[in-house]
């Protein structure tokens, strides 16, 4: 059995957060957790999480080239646990490798955005949220790899995997219009019909309302693409690859000429005349002065939601939420467009 193992810069021993921009690298043999797998690893591939997130196309091209060159029986990715950036890279790489005919396995926590990124194309072994789950995860990955290498097509029976849910296009015998008419007649006449889209499962239950904002710390978060004028970090207008935080400490209002939106989903003329209408800092400051809001967080969090694939949106959301939590923020105004 020939195995290629993908892991991020941290687990490959290249360094932590400071090495997150590390480009794709190929290493012969097993590295780090790969040594504990119990199956021989021919090649380890690694890439910094930031590098992958910011230059996905280049990273994928290089990693897939190495994988295809090796012709492995199985590609293993992770375990990424609860790490959103790492999980996203694992899920994306496994998805692309799978679609090129290479059997691929990821391991990560079930709420990791990498689960969306894998798009049902790869097997995903569920793990705990932290690295403490390593000891449990590795033997499951190894077992699944052996089963897949033996040619088993649905080895979920022997190793518990997350359900593979992928939505793939195909050409039906009937046009959408005629399927709709059939469905309506069945619905009107009490006949049986099957909806083509199942209700989504990822509903978020709103928390109970806050009793009094005067005792809370409020942050402003937006997907409206609001940035300081000139867009210093090059936030994308569409399909954003990053989110950013900008200090608004002491800033009373998002003045025209000092802030702008780069969002590509609507005509920006009115928004750029008064960016407060995208992120209501002016109103928040007035309420703060009146004592109606206890504290305003020093940072504005921003990205462009336009055309964001779900996996990316989940990853950004988790990362921003983690920041907010660490900053002891208790209330958020999230503005969308």
Partner 1 sequence: MTNVSSSLSQTREASDSSVGEAQRILEVGTYPVREVSESRATRLRDGRLEIDTEDLKALATTEPPVADVGVSVARPGDSIRLVNVLDAFQPAVKEGASDTTFSGVTGRLSPLGRGRTNCLDGVAVISTCDFRATHDVGQMLTPSRGYSTVDMDGPGRACSHFASTVNVVLDFKCNPAFSFADCDRSIRRASLKIAQRLAEATSDEVSPPSVEELTWGPVDKGLPAVCAIIQVGADEPLCDTFFYGASLRGTLPFLSDPREILDGALNSGFYDFSGGSNPTYFYQRNSLLLSLLRAHGRDLRLAGVILAVVYWPSAFEKSRNALLTAKLAENAGVQGAILTAFSIGNSHNDAMLTCRACETLGIKTVVVISETNGGLTDYVEEADAIVSVGNYEEIVDEWEPEEVIGGMYYDYEYSLPIAQPGPLPLLAYFGSTSQMGDMAMAVRSS
Going by their DSSP bridges, the two strands 25-28 and 43-47 should be labelled as: antiparallel
Q: Work out which of 12, 107, 262, 329 binds partner 1, going by CB under 8 A.
A: 262
The answer to whether the beta carbons of residues 262 and 309 sit under 8 Å apart is: no
Regarding 69 and contact with partner 1 (CB under 8 A), the answer is no
User: Which listed residue (17, 154, 165, 210) binds partner 1 by CB under 8 A?
Assistant: 165
Q: Is 229 a residue that touches partner 1 (CB under 8 A)?
A: no
Mention every residue, 6+ apart, whose C-beta is less than 8 A from residue 181. Answer: none
119 vs 258: CA distance, rounded Å = 40
Examine residue 202 and tell whether it contacts partner 1 (CB under 8 A).
yes
Q: Determine, following the binding rule CB under 8 A, whether residue 52 of this chain makes contact with partner 1.
A: no
Taking contact as CB under 8 A, which single stretch among the options 12-20, 65-73, 159-167, 318-326 is the one that binds partner 1?
159-167
Sign of the Cα torsion 140, 25, 43, 116 reads positive
Q: Is 334 in the site for partner 1 (CB under 8 A)?
A: no
Give the shortest CB-238-to-partner 1 separation in angstroms.
5
Q: Is 239 in the site for partner 1 (CB under 8 A)?
A: yes
Q: Does 17 bind partner 1 (CB under 8 A)?
A: no
**What is the Cα–Cα distance from 256 to 229, expressed in whole angstroms?**
9
Restricted to residues 97-136, the positions that interact with partner 1 (CB under 8 A) are 116, 119-120
Give the sign of the dihedral formed by CA 178, CA 180, CA 185, CA 186: positive
Give the integer Cα–Cα distance in Å for 310 and 321: 16
Instruction: Please choose, out of 27-35, 132-140, 187-195, 247-255, the segment that lies near partner 1 by the rule CB under 8 A.
Output: 187-195
Omega cis (within 30) before 306: no
Question: Whose Cβ is closer to partner 1: residue 135's or residue 167's?
Answer: 167
DSSP calls for 35-64: GGSSS--SEEEEE-HHHHHHSHHHHHHHHH
What distance in Å separates the CA atoms of residue 260 and residue 227, rounded to the nearest whole number? 6
Q: Is 206 in the site for partner 1 (CB under 8 A)?
A: no
Among 30, 148, 218, 268, binds partner 1 (CB under 8 A): 268
How many C-beta atoms lie closer than 10 Å to residue 101's C-beta? 8
Smallest CA-to-CA distance from 279 within 260, 305, 266, 257 is with 260
What DSSP character marks residue 14? S
Piece of the chain touching partner 1 by CB under 8 A; list 30-38, 124-132, 176-184, 210-218: 176-184
Work out whether 204 is an interface residue with partner 1 (CB under 8 A): no
Give me the least distance between CB of 99 and partner 1, in Å please: 8
The residues in 207-226 that bind partner 1, with binding defined as CB under 8 A, are none
For partner 1, which residue of 135, 189, 250, 290 counts as binding (CB under 8 A)? Answer: 189
Which residues are near partner 1 by CB under 8 A? 57, 116, 119-120, 164-181, 183-185, 187-189, 193, 195-200, 202, 234, 236-241, 262-268, 306-307, 309-311, 313
């Amino acid at each position: 059995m020939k195995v290629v193992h993908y892991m991020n810069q941290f687990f490959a021993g290249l360094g932590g957060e400071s090495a997150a921009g590390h480009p794709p690298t190929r290493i012969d043999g097993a590295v780090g957790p790969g040594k504990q797998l119990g199956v021989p690893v021919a090649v380890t591939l690694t890439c910094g999480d930031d590098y992958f997130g910011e230059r996905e196309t280049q990273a994928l091209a290089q990693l897939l080239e190495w994988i295809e060159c090796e012709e492995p029986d199985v590609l293993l990715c992770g375990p990424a646990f609860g790490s959103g950036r790492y999980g996203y890279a694992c899920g994306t790489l496994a998805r692309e490798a799978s679609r090129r005919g290479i059997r691929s396995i990821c391991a990560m926590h079930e709420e990791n955005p990498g689960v969306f990124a894998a798009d049902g194309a790869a097997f995903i072994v569920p793990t705990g949220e932290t690295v403490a789950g390593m000891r449990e995860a590795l033997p499951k990955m190894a077992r699944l790899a052996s089963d897949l290498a033996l040619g088993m097509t649905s080895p979920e029976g022997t190793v518990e995997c997350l359900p593979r849910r992928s939505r793939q296009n195909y050409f039906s015998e009937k046009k959408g219009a005629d399927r709709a008419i059939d469905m309506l007649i069945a619905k009107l006449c009490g006949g049986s019909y099957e909806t083509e889209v199942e209700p989504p499962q990822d509903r978020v239950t709103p928390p109970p309302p806050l009793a009094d904002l005067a005792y809370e710390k409020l942050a402003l978060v937006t997907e409206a693409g609001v940035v300081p004028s000139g867009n210093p970090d090059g936030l994308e207008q569409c399909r954003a690859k990053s989110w950013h935080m900008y200090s608004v400490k002491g800033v009373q209002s998002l003045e025209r000429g000092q802030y702008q939106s780069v969002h590509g989903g609507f005509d920006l003329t009115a928004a750029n005349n008064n960016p407060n209408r995208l992120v209501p800092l002016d109103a928040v400051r007035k309420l703060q002065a009146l004592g109606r809001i206890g504290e305003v967080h020093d940072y504005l969090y921003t990205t462009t939601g336009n055309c964001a694939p779900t996996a990316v949106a989940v990853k950004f959301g988790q990362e921003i939420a983690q920041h907010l939590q660490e900053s002891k923020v208790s209330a958020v105004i999230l503005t969308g467009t």
